[in-house]
Structure 1
Amino acid sequence: MPARDKNGHLIPVQQLHPGDHAFVSYGNDEIRWDVITAFVRLGLARGEKVMVLPCPAVPEEEVLARIDFPSRSTASARERGQLVLSSMRAVIRPDAEFTAARQLGRLHAETDRATAEGYTGLRAFIDMGWVAALGTDLAAVAHRETHADGLFSGRPYTEICAYDRRRFDRAMVAAMEGAHPHALLERLGSLRSVRGAEDELCFIGEADGANRAAFMRSLEIALARTAPDRRLTVDLTRLHFLSVGCAGALLALAHGAAGHDLVEVRCGPGHRRLLRRLGADAMPRLAMREVIRPC
């Protein structure tokens, strides 16, 4: 059964926008690079300045090699100052100990500096490995994470806080996930299904050929669950990618759902065009509602 997610909390990294404060966790040295590389490259493509504060335990050479792979397009961004590798020690300098006020003030100033330099905003990836490296009290970290609205509200700043599940206990990770307005899928190319408001079925991530079986299974379960109500709402707005195969499977299952009076599909303009090309308009029990996610 899909987990419940009534407030659009879980999203793919590709749907982050200025003003977003997001959580991600990882428990594997390879997986950690999925989100960071996508976050960096999307920021550069959007004309933002990008700061990366990697785990202090990871050598700088490895960080650069990872974010440069599979090409060295990020090297030129570093040369012109659009991509900056930093650390929490550098952010709070000249202070030696972390305080939320010092960190927030510096990031606020760096955002203003980025826009003054002609960038569209600032985005920062902060691996929370710095907490142990600086010997910072976890209560101070939690307070910062839950009292940072002024850094984001109405401002062109985007931040990911990455927690290594091997470094933080389960309760801390769960609390920090809940404290952030958004949580991110930790792997690119993955697909999650969750139950949203009013029992709708929400897909998050990438519905491609590799995930087609899971996509269909979630739809079949949701159709069975909602048979007594004779209606199902399917939310595609948090999909970064929808393949032709998965779109066709959705239409085929909706067409065969004789026990339903209505299958409503909430989607963005691109996915709506794809569904229409596959014949969605000719299906009487299928209704599409276009939703524009905020930029």
Structure 2
Amino acid sequence: MVSRPEDESPRTVPVQRLRPGDHSFVAFTDVEARWQVLTAYTRTGLARREKVLLVLDPSDLSDDDAVARMDGAGNYVEAARASGQLVITRSTSLYLPDGRFDKDRQLAVAAPIIEDVQREGWHGLRAASDMTWALRPGVDLDEVIDFEVSIGPIVTIPGVTGICWYDRRRFSSYWVAAAREVHPVQVMERLDAVSITRTPSGWRIAGSAESSSREEFTEALSAALKQPDTGSPFHFELDMTDLCFMEAHCAWQLISLAAALPESSKVVVHCGPLLDLVLRGLGSDTVSQLELNVAEEP
């Protein structure tokens, strides 16, 4: 389903497309999906020589089990923890050290953490925090939302990236919506999902166009590029710069739909080098109605 216009919503991206300076929000319902997203987020930060701070709820996996979950069959994440590049802590010790939440105290904690990262020579700080601590007795949720607003300018410091995640099963719809509203970036809940958003000149498609999202992707694309009844040419833009993966079937659908348009029509696809390679490999250069505008990967 196509969502509301992009200018009315937070920027929605797959976790792989988060950039330094992004203060992002994600709401989970599926534990497996959550760990897949956190694993991708963590491993991306480690590969970029960023320090990663993972703040888990006390009821979550132990530190050792969390590392094993993110490592799979390797020891890359474990090595990062041993070197100090990855730090795992618990939300209660960070946010509620004396059993209560103090917004000003918490804001004061952030600056020294960033200074330590810079002094240690890392390329940046990548933090992810489970916000379930906000439901503990005595915590004012309004103050938590105020804190989320206040921490935003700190996260936008060059080299800092942040995710605040909320469990939809525990937080009310009202509080999930309130938290989403104060974050300029929303992370997609699953690695295998696709997000389709209207823009003034066309659509923005983010995420992953693969077997699990193929039907949604192709149906939306068919509706968007359906040949006008008048047969007259038209101009349409597809922003796919935040589409991390597109399987051959979905790519072929795009090429075929563009080729069926009147010859003077133009479908401009903004994409990264990988999608450009896929589309050109399937013959997009032979379709005059299709134009690829390639941007460098972030």
Would you say same fold, with TM above 0.5?
yes
Distance in 2 (CA, whole Å) between partners of 1:81 and 1:226 is 58
Contact 2:12 2:195 in 1 (8 A): no
Contact 2:2 2:198 in 1 (8 A): yes
Distance in 1 (CA, whole Å) between partners of 2:288 and 2:267 is 10
Say if 1:149 and 1:77 are closer, same or farther in 2 by CA, change over 3 A: same
Q: Which runs of structure 2 are paired with 1:169-180 in the superposition (5 Å)?
A: 169-180=172-183
Distance in 1 (CA, whole Å) between partners of 2:229 and 2:168 is 39
Contact 1:19 1:154 in 2 (8 A): yes
Counterpart in the other structure of 2:33: 31
Q: Which runs of structure 2 are paired with 1:198-237 in the superposition (5 Å)?
A: 198=201, 200-224=202-226, 230-237=234-241
Root-mean-square deviation over aligned CA pairs: 2.4
Counterpart in the other structure of 1:90: 93
Q: Which runs of structure 2 are paired with 1:1-295 in the superposition (5 Å)?
A: 1-7=1-7, 9-60=11-62, 61-92=64-95, 96-133=99-136, 135-198=138-201, 200-224=202-226, 230-258=234-262, 261-292=265-296, 295=298
Say if 1:43 and 1:250 are closer, same or farther in 2 by CA, change over 3 A: same
Distance in 1 (CA, whole Å) between partners of 2:133 and 2:228 is 47
TM-score w.r.t. length of structure 2: 0.88
Contact 2:205 2:243 in 1 (8 A): yes
Q: After alignment, is 141-150 or 116-125 more displaced?
A: 141-150
TM-score w.r.t. length of structure 1: 0.89
Aligned length: 293
- Stretches of 4+ aligned residues off by more than 6 angstroms: 225-229
Amino acid at match of 1:6: E
* Residue 73 of structure 1, CA deviation: 2.1
Distance in 1 (CA, whole Å) between partners of 2:149 and 2:215 is 38
* Residue 94 of structure 1, CA deviation: 5.9
* Residue 289 of structure 1, CA deviation: 2.4
Q: Which runs of 5+ in 1 are unaligned?
A: none
Distance in 1 (CA, whole Å) between partners of 2:61 and 2:285 is 54
Amino acid at match of 1:274: V
Distance in 2 (CA, whole Å) between partners of 1:64 and 1:84 is 10
Amino acid at match of 2:6: K
Distance in 2 (CA, whole Å) between partners of 1:110 and 1:259 is 57
Kindly provide the CA deviation profile for residues 23-57 of structure 1, in whole angstroms up to 9, marking residues without a partner as x: 01112333321211111111111111111111222
Identity %: 34
> Could you say what secondary structure the match of 2:238 adopts?
strand
